[in-house]
A and B are shown apart, each in its own frame.
Chain A
Amino acid sequence: MKQQIILSGLGGQGVLFVSKILGEAALARGLSVLMSETHGMAQRGGNVISHVKVFEREKGKPEGERDAATDPAWHVSPLIRPGHAHVLVALHEEGVKAHGHFLSPNGTLVCNRTPRTGPGDVDATGIARKLGNPVAANLVLLGFAAASGALFCSLDDLRRVLEKLGGPRRDANLAALEAGAEAGGE
């Protein structure tokens, strides 16, 4: 397993969006991903969690000829066990209380929190507000995590994913990522 990441936040903060960006970054690197996410009632403001697992793609038989017995990619569990996450990305500091137990003792914590309590903290919401785009705190935090070297992928990988994604928020998304990266590269 290359990297196991827990993303934690409250419903509506864009946990799902961040996990999708990470997934695309893995795919662009030729890696495989398996992710698990929260849907339904909890998305209405409750604690939301995404499990992201990134691993080397097995070069086995062509896909059409595989079956359950032979394809190792199909034997990966979609969930990360407590104490096994390499990184915890908390979009809200409550995520540390709710999901902190997933982090491995040697893992890295990245948290949207002010005032800062440690090197992994950043005021992502504050930075996003300054950009006039308070809902983009998720991307600020992602940029911060990438620039501080916590992730399997580089800031450049994430930039390319957001560029490819395009859409009306493209520029605002990229600006948020860069602002976070600046805070992370300090």
Chain B
Amino acid sequence: MAERKILLGNEAMAYGLLEAGCTLAASYPGTPASEIVGTLAALKRSGSIAMHVEWSINEKVALETALANSYAGRRSAAAMKQVGLNVAADPFMSAAYTGVKGGLVVIVADDPGPHSSQTEQDTRQFAMLAKVPVLDPLGPAHARDLLHTAFDLSEDYEVPVLFRPTTRVCHARQDMEIRPFRQDQPAPVFEKDPARWAATPKFRFLLHKQLNEKLDAVSRDSRLQPVQLNPAVSAEKAAGVIVASGAVCTHASEILKDLGLWEEIPLYYAPMPFPLPEDFLTGLLDQARRILVLEETQPVMEAQFRDRAKVQGRLSGHVPREGELLPETVEGIVRTFAGLPEAAAPKGAAAPGRRPTLCAGCGHRAAFFAIRKVFPRGIYPGDIGCYTLGLNLGAVDTVLCMGASISQAAGFYHAFRDSGQNSRPIVATIGDSTFYHAGIPALINAVIQGCRFVVVVLDNATTAMTGHQPTPAEGNTLDGRSVPKVSIEDLARACGVRHVSVGDPYDFEAFTGLLKAAKEHTRDPENGGMAVVIARRPCLMDRKQPKPDRKPVPAINDKCQGCGFCITHFECPALVFHGKEEAVTVDDVLCSGCGVCAHVCPHDAIEIPSQPQAGKESNHS
């Protein structure tokens, strides 16, 4: 019997790529997509696969790289989260016109909810915009299989295929049989065809026409027609039918069975929500009395019905216009659709729950505290990563999208300078990986526009939030070849910044000094300008980094009055508040021994004992 394994949806998709003979996979990490290429990267590091795998600098570069490999006749994939496709929108739109040779599958993970994203955008609408087919898998095991079809489709019609799992597919785990990976890798063949690969606007019109024809043919492809999951019941006899795609379809299927409606309401699953075949749409409009469309997160299938008098969904207001379609939400919608009474379901959570916070001992926390101290009246444009959580510390005022901290800081600078208020200090914070991804053009722009503000690059030597992917500072490819390290300080100088410094935020006094010097530089009327301070402290959760020296767990002396300052302004999870007038305590399991909190208490109540202790348990009474 074949071996069975429990695979995370993203792992299953990585296996699907390998089984389908994909030869190149490129990605920039982002929740919920990170583990797709993460799985491949681990296999690549261990030398078990031939495929070229890379963590690219950003999604645009990833997609362009994968596309050229496909021009050379080899199966390729790019993977990213939904907002990553915004970054890669330019090559994506154009690639639809040029088409592909080797199959190209662009896996874009959506995040209804949203759980870990700035928007709930629906990548299937991107597919409509670009006019490429999009597949919407049910769950992990199905996603693995559907990827094979995606590659076949892409090659048969020479068109890129979007593959759109949602968080519930990416981050579900399911047992499945393990299959061998395809070993043969076709030799690259690049046939020059400038009218296609380098088409000028005149030829682009022709390519657009061809794309339209491809799309019509794809919509009729027998492999991806909507299927009725409960064929025993006929659409003509039923009071209504449901059309669903993705994980929502599994909720619908389970709920129909639970409510005894499996034999009453036909349920259609559409593996390819765009383009839906015309025959299916008109056939259903003919036969069905009412059509309920369940999909995430925007009305993509619903909008393809030309006559929507019978159609219920997000456009008609029968399905909420925002938010994840949780099974309990789907149950409510299905009950109403079927004329059943509302469920006597228990209400939601009794408590709002805990908000996330930076880890105990995270270097970012120290850096943020120092920034607040040196720039008390500052405006703090922030960016995307663990350090977005600087929000909790009042050290992040704006979060927009990757790299925007620097350009938004520039915008604030112009706003205040132009109205004569030169004195409002502005400090942008951006992580190392985000700086490489999208911060560099913004920094050059700030320099050439004569801006004067401080950029603090929070350099933890990794892409922490998404699971510790390497950055360009590492100097190694995944298969262990050494390549030049690209240093942030060199880049900052090359961008034209004349004041660049590097410090360790744990070394609190010295780091505060660097911030003050940077502040002076932005104010120096003669030689001043932009300043970059690199806060260098490896992520504590990154197993690849050496463990820092632990200081003893702090002791709280009797000066502690329970004022709560360290809790609200520093928020180390290892400091436990017990109410006003009670001394705080230290949770020795969580405390990492960074020693920074000693600099935080305004009453000097937190001390780091000078005697190092043998183990962390010995401090516990």
Contact = CB atoms under 8 A, between A and B. Distances in A.
Given A33-B173, A34-B139, A40 B269 contact: no
Given A45-B573, A69-B228, A94-B353, 10 more contacts: A23-B6, A39-B115, A44-B359, A46-B357, A63-B2, A67-B145, A78-B247, A97-B350, A97-B351, A98-B353
Contacts of A71: 142
Query: Binding site of A, secondary structure by majority: helix, strand, loop or mixed?
Result: mixed
Contact of B250 (A64, A78, A83): A78
Contacts of B231: 69
Nearest to B169: A78
B199 interface: no
Contacts of A80: 327
Interface in B365-406: 386, 388-389
Interface of B: 2, 4, 6, 31-32, 115-116, 138-139, 141-142, 145, 168-169, 171-177, 179, 227-229, 231, 247, 249-251, 253-255, 269, 271, 326-328, 331, 345-351, 353-359, 386, 388-389, 465-466, 573, 589-590, 617, 620
B350 A46 contact: no
A130 B292 CA distance: 57
A34 B4 contact: no
B116 to A, nearest CB: 3
A120 interface: no
Given A34-B139, A68-B269, A79 B327 contact: yes
Contacts of A40: 31-32, 115-116, 465-466
B171 A36 contact: yes
A45 B354 contact: yes
A11 B247 contact: no
B32 A39 contact: yes
Nearest to B254: A77
Contacts of A27: 4, 6, 175
Interface in A8-39: 10-12, 19-20, 23-24, 26-27, 32-39
A36 B168 contact: yes
A77 B271 CA distance: 16
B172 A75 contact: no
A44 B358 contact: yes
A69 B356 contact: no
11 contacts: A27-B6, A34-B174, A45-B359, A45-B573, A63-B177, A68-B138, A69-B231, A81-B327, A83-B345, A101-B348, A101-B350
Contacts of B351: 94, 97-98
Interface in A64-93: 64, 66-69, 71, 73-83
Contact of A45 (B6, B349, B357): B357
Contacts of B139: 34, 74, 76, 78
A166 interface: no
A130 B348 CA distance: 36
Contacts of B229: 68-69, 75
A181 to B, nearest CB: 22
A33 B175 contact: yes
Contacts of B345: 81-83
Nearest to A132: B617
A69 B168 contact: no
B389 A134 contact: no
A142 B254 CA distance: 28
Contact of B389 (A44, A63, A100, A132): A44
Contact of A10 (B249, B271, B331, B354): B354
Interface in A37-55: 37-47
Contacts of B228: 69
B250 A11 contact: no
A100 B346 CA distance: 10
